[in-house]
């Protein structure tokens, strides 16, 4: 016991030694960047890098929300459809508001407000159905995924919803303009990432998410309101989808049935590549962000080179996901065999 | 039980086994042998090396040095349970059955009988039925495991072992989760297995049980072999002393008189829930109140309802003189009421997390400053808890699942006490932990009461109820059947109320 206390005292210079598992995604990203540079030096041009970051922002922001859901032992398959539905409703609301509010900032703000309310609402529905309705998250979000997707198709009447041209002009800078050299979406990404990191690692809420994902019964017996915390993770997810949609809409100014297709899988992949455990109990926001960057970088590199067809983007992403999880697994084993 | 006249040759022998995990030695030259048709109990405090020895005997661990002999010949046991083929079967405490498969499918898992390439279900069913009949187990081969009681599942494990022609059956605390009735059934099975020549090794913390069913007893202490003796030469007291290595006369702390005029801190009136019928009682400041009864009598259900862990149907709860309705767990905690679960592995601790987040989880709001967790305060709390509760570990960064049962229990106690409750409900305070830690926990409970904290002890172990409680409430089938004080707190009285032979009119 005395040794234990000494061990504690000796620990005070906080552990700087980061194990391979935490460092893995960072090393992978670095390797990808080096490969990208070797294949085509234009990879590290400022234009390409900002483009890469901007494109990572959508998946990255959604994946930050997914990190909370997955850490607390849930899963949300509906995010891609949710983004499409929110984008669709946003556009309809803004188009209809032009007559009363004009095509200026108020209309855009109205659209953003609607997006945020919808995101929170959709997240709450997912959360309430899993906790109060006691239906498995996979089933609930599989259901809402289908619902949101079909809603956007219905709103667009099978075609495309387009934003009023003048509103598009007002809204455009949100995607295309920069601040201090970084595009606006990247700033949103950074802000969401920092908030997410603080929330998961420094607050009681984050600790509760981890505890619930680790063992729900223990969480319940530890005076944690399990249903509320779980519902909140889905609401955070919904909010993240809103943010991603808000910066996505000005990019194309339209929404259709193919908006946000497969985003849910990319978001989950980013989370898993980042080292978060799929069955819950352990989550890493930093890893998630690296995961999102890795996924976008792969696509970017394939665009830059002729060696591998761009059509094989999905293959490369799939391989990376499997390899990442495999490495994490063998790392677990290594850690264990040392002790037992 | 009759004495063995001539000792038959051992089936399996462990000779001078030593084992280290990395630099940490856990067994020092331990020897043990198991003969056909004998029940060999392995006892010792938590961390004495019993589990390690069992795992070495069954091939799950390799010894660092020493030898395993099977039928007199040196043998290297294959790892990961493959030793079953040699007739050596370990039944884990956490049973190893596929919950969604049927009894028959489990028993034949991995060696299914086939006819023309298809499963021969009829033959398998008949074989399983034969074993079930032999063992006297009243379930069907087609029953799903998930629909069985724990005791029945355990029997299925035994059937599974027997059907694989097990010659050595190694069982880790087989009776820990059984009711008294189920335990008796279990004893009968053991007797039958013995008669058919199977050698049985079992670990138990219940020394009376060891005395009752073991032929020989091997005692380990701190990884050392202390003795192997015929159980006829031992009394439970002697076993306890040999395990601990010191006198245990002070197992229970001296009883301090309870102040009968102290204020009533908790008064429950006509509480009803799904498993509880019309329960009323009160608890005073500084009192240690025991809840006794058979497993399933509704004791845990009473307090889970009071603490907001389960819904209550009707009844009133007065806490510190104020009427409180049904509370959430967090409200109960904030009001100074804390419940310590009996199921520390499933409901008490996050086994894959370190000690730190486990310790502060229950009282986490206390550690929040400016919306963030004060990590310095958390670290201080852990150091305090390690000292106060004497949690012993070489590495404070270890995951809690790797701690011994006794240390887990101490940590769980520390976790609950972190919110400074005025009323603590401790459910089975010493389940599956060794005598030394038991003693520490009893003294801790007594000290709490002396400080003015009220403690409810729910326990199925009668000696501890008698040893530490000021007053004892006995429950049976969801009712309170008796309230005992002073000299009336004795095994006889409690048993009569618990078994329904005697009943007070309380309302």
The enclosing H or E element of B293 equals strand B288-293
Residues B57, B12: contact at Cβ < 8 Å?
A: yes
**Whole-angstrom distance, CA of residue B431 vs CA of residue B433:** 6
The residue extents of the domains of chain A are 24-37+59-326
Residues B203, B45: contact at Cβ < 8 Å?
A: no
- A7 interfaces chain B, CB cutoff of 8 Å: yes
Max distance between CA atoms of chain A, in angstroms, equals 76
| pLDDT at residue A6, as a whole number | 39
Judging by beta carbons within 10 Å of its beta carbon (0-12, 13-18, 19+), is residue B127 exposed, middle or buried?
middle
Q: Which residues of B touch A8 (CB under 8 A)?
A: 379, 382-383, 386, 396
To test the contact with chain A by mutation, choose from B51, B60, B346, B364 the residue with the greatest count of A C-beta atoms within 10 A, namely B364
Of A92-106, B107-121, B404-418, B492-506, least confident by mean pLDDT is B492-506
Q: Are residues A207 and B361, on separate chains, in Cβ contact within 8 Å?
A: yes
Closest CA in chain A for residue B349: A218
- B356 interfaces chain A, CB cutoff of 8 Å: no
Let me know whether B73 and B207 are in one domain: yes
Answer with the residue of higher pLDDT: A291 or B506: A291
Minimum-distance CB partner of B329 among A1, A8, A220:
A220
Q: Are residues B361 and A4, on separate chains, in Cβ contact within 8 Å?
A: no
Q: Which residue has the tokens 């900002």?
A: A50
Report strand pairing: B88-91 vs B39-43: unpaired
Q: Which residues of A touch B396 (CB under 8 A)?
A: 4, 7-8, 11
Residues 407-446, chain B: which have Cβ within 8 Å of A?
415
Question: Does residue B299 belong to any structural domain of this protein?
Answer: yes
- B153 interfaces chain A, CB cutoff of 8 Å: no
Instruction: For domain A24-37+59-326, say whether CATH 1.10.3470 is its number.
Output: yes
Residue B144 in this model has a pLDDT that exceeds 50? yes
Let me know whether B88 and B194 are in one domain: yes
Let me know whether B27 and B149 are in one domain: yes
Domain end marker among B244, B261, B289: B244
**Whole-angstrom distance, CA of residue A245 vs CA of residue B126:** 63
Residue B416 in this model has a pLDDT that exceeds 50? yes
To test the contact with chain A by mutation, choose from B61, B361, B365, B418 the residue with the greatest count of A C-beta atoms within 10 A, namely B361
**Whole-angstrom distance, CA of residue B91 vs CA of residue B174:** 8
Let me know whether B412 and B427 are in one domain: no
Question: Does residue B476 belong to any structural domain of this protein?
Answer: yes
For residue B24, the cross-strand partners are B21
Distances (CA, A) of B370 to A86, A229, B35: 34, 19, 65
pLDDT band at residue B249 under the 50/70/90 scheme: low
Q: Are residues B365 and A204, on separate chains, in Cβ contact within 8 Å?
A: yes
Structural domain containing residue B428: 250-336+422-507
**What is the tally of structural domains in chain B?**
3
Let me know whether B265 and B138 are in one domain: no
Let me know whether B108 and B68 are in one domain: yes
| pLDDT at residue A9, as a whole number | 39
Let me know whether B407 and B350 are in one domain: yes
The enclosing H or E element of B337 equals strand B337-340
| Two tokens, residue B362 | 């229950």
Question: Does residue B433 belong to any structural domain of this protein?
Answer: yes
**Whole-angstrom distance, CA of residue B102 vs CA of residue B123:** 15
pTM of the model: 0.79
Let me know whether B415 and B445 are in one domain: no
Minimum-distance CB partner of A217 among B22, B347, B391:
B347
Let me know whether B465 and B318 are in one domain: yes
- Indicate the average pLDDT of chain B: 87
Of A321-335, B66-80, B365-379, least confident by mean pLDDT is A321-335
Q: Which residue has the tokens 């065999």?
A: A337
**Whole-angstrom distance, CA of residue A277 vs CA of residue A264:** 17
Q: What share of chain B is helix, strand, coil (3-state, %, to 5)?
A: 35, 25, 40
Residues A220, B309: contact at Cβ < 8 Å?
A: yes
Domain end marker among B403, B420, B437: B420
- Helix ranges (H only) for B108-264 are 121-135, 150-163, 180-195, 207-213, 236-244
**Whole-angstrom distance, CA of residue B442 vs CA of residue B250:** 10
Question: Does residue B403 belong to any structural domain of this protein?
Answer: yes
Of B365, B389, B395, the C-alpha closest to B377 is B365
Question: Does residue B3 belong to any structural domain of this protein?
Answer: no
Encode pLDDT of B371-399 as tens digits: 899 999 999 999 999 999 988 887 788 88
ipTM of the complex: 0.83
User: CA angle, corner A150, sides to A145 and A156, nearest 5?
Assistant: 135
Residue A128 in this model has a pLDDT that exceeds 90? yes
Residues for chain A: how many in total? Answer: 340
- Helices H, strands E: what count in chain B? 15, 24
Q: What is the CATH number of the domain that holds B472?
A: 3.40.50.300
Of A97-101, A244-248, B157-161, least confident by mean pLDDT is B157-161
| pLDDT at residue B18, as a whole number | 92
**Whole-angstrom distance, CA of residue B356 vs CA of residue B232:** 46
Let me know whether B53 and B173 are in one domain: yes
Q: What secondary structure letter does DSSP report for A47?
A: H
pLDDT band at residue A97 under the 50/70/90 scheme: very high
Let me know whether B325 and B214 are in one domain: no
- B204 interfaces chain A, CB cutoff of 8 Å: no
- Count of C-beta atoms within a 10 Å radius of residue B52: 21
Q: Are residues A338 and B22, on separate chains, in Cβ contact within 8 Å?
A: yes
- Count of C-beta atoms within a 10 Å radius of residue A40: 16
Let me know whether B200 and B263 are in one domain: no
CA distance A204 to chain B (A): 6
- Helices H, strands E: what count in chain A? 15, 4
Question: Does residue B4 belong to any structural domain of this protein?
Answer: no
First to last CA, chain B: 47
Q: Are residues B383 and A225, on separate chains, in Cβ contact within 8 Å?
A: no
- B377 interfaces chain A, CB cutoff of 8 Å: no
Question: Does residue B102 belong to any structural domain of this protein?
Answer: yes
């Amino acid at each position: 016991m005395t040794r234990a206390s000494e061990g504690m005292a000796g620990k005070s210079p906080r552990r700087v030694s980061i194990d391979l598992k935490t460092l893995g995604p960072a090393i992978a990203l670095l390797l990808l960047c080096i490969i990208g540079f070797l294949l085509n030096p234009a990879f590290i041009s400022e234009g390409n890098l900002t483009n890469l970051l901007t494109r990572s922002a959508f998946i990255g922001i959604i994946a930050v929300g997914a990190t909370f859901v997955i850490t607390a032992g849930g899963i949300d398959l509906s995010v891609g459809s949710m983004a499409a539905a929110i984008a669709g409703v946003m556009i309809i609301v803004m188009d209809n508001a032009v007559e009363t509010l004009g095509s200026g900032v108020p209309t855009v703000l109205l659209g953003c407000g609607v997006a945020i309310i919808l995101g929170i609402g959709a997240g709450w529905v997912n959360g309430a159905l899993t906790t109060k309705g006691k239906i498995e998250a996979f089933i609930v979000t599989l259901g809402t995924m289908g619902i949101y997707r079909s809603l956007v198709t219905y709103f667009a009447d099978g075609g495309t919803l387009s934003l009023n041209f003048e509103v598009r002009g007002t809204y455009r800078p949100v995607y295309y303009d920069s601040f201090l050299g970084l595009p606006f979406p990247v700033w949103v990404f950074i802000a969401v990432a920092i908030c997410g990191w603080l929330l998961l690692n420094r607050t009681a809420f984050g600790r509760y998410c981890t505890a619930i994902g680790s063992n729900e019964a223990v969480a319940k017996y530890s005076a944690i309101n399990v249903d509320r915390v779980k519902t909140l993770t889905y609401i955070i997810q919904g909010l993240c989808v809103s943010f991603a949609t808000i910066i996505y809409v000005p990019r194309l100014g339209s929404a259709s049935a193919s908006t946000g297709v497969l985003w849910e899988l990319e978001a989950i992949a980013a989370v898993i590549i980042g080292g978060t455990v799929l069955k819950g109990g352990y989550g890493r926001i930093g890893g998630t962000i690296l995961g999102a960057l890795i996924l976008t970088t792969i696509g970017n590199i394939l665009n830059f080179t002729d060696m591998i067809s761009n059509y094989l983007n999905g293959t490369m992403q799939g391989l990376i996901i499997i390899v990442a999880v495999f490495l994490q697994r063998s790392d677990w084993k290594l850690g264990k065999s040392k002790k037992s | 039980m009759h004495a063995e006249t001539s000792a038959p040759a051992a089936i399996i022998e462990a000779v001078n086994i030593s084992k280290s995990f990395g630099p940490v030695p856990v067994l020092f030259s331990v020897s043990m042998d198991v003969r056909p048709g004998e029940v060999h109990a392995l006892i010792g405090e938590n961390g004495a090396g019993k589990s390690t020895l069992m795992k070495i005997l069954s091939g799950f661990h390799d010894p660092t040095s020493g030898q395993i002999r099977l039928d007199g010949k040196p043998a290297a046991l294959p790892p990961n349970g493959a030793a079953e083929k040699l007739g050596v079967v370990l039944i884990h405490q956490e049973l190893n059955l596929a919950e969604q498969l049927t009894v028959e499918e489990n028993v034949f898992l991995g060696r299914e009988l086939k006819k023309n390439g298809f499963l021969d279900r009829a033959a398998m069913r008949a074989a399983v039925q034969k074993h079930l009949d032999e063992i006297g187990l009243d379930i069907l081969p087609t029953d799903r495991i998930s629909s069985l009681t724990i005791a029945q599942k355990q029997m299925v494990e035994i059937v599974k072992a027997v059907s694989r022609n097990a010659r050595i059956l190694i069982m880790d605390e087989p009776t820990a989760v059984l009711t008294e009735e189920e335990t008796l059934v279990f004893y009968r099975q053991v007797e039958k297995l013995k008669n058919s020549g199977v050698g049985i090794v079992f670990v138990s913390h219940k020394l009376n049980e060891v005395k009752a069913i073991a032929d020989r007893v091997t005692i380990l202490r701190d990884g050392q072999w202390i003795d192997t003796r015929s159980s006829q030469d031992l009394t439970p007291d002697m076993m306890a002393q040999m395990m601990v290595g010191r006198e245990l006369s002070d197992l229970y702390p001296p009883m301090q008189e309870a102040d009968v005029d102290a204020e009533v801190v908790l008064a429950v009136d006509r509480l009803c829930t799904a498993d509880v019928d019309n329960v009323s009682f009160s608890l005073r400041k500084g009192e240690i109140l025991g809840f006794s009864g058979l497993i399933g009598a509704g004791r845990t259900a009473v307090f889970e309802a009071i603490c907001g862990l389960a819904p209550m149907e009707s009844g009133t709860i007065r806490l510190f003189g104020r009427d409180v309705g049904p509370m959430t767990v967090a409200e109960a905690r904030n009001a100074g009421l804390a419940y310590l679960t009996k199921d520390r592995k499933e409901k008490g601790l996050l086994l894959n997390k370190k000690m730190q987040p486990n310790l502060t989880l229950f009282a986490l709001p206390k550690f929040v400053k400016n919306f963030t967790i004060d990590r310095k305060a958390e670290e201080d709390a852990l150091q305090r808890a390690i000292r106060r509760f004497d949690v012993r570990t070489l590495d404070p960064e270890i995951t809690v699942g790797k701690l011994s049962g006794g240390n887990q229990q101490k940590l769980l106690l520390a976790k609950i006490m972190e919110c400074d409750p005025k009323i603590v409900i401790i459910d089975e305070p010493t389940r599956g932990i060794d005598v030394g830690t038991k003693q520490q926990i009893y003294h801790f409970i007594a000290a709490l009461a002396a400080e003015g904290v009220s403690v409810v002890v729910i326990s199925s172990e009668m000696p501890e109820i008698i040893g530490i409680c000021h007053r004892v409430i006995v429950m049976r089938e969801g009712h309170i059947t008796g309230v005992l004080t002073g000299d009336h707190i004795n095994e006889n009285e409690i048993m009569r109320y618990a078994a329904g032979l005697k009943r007070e009119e309380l309302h």
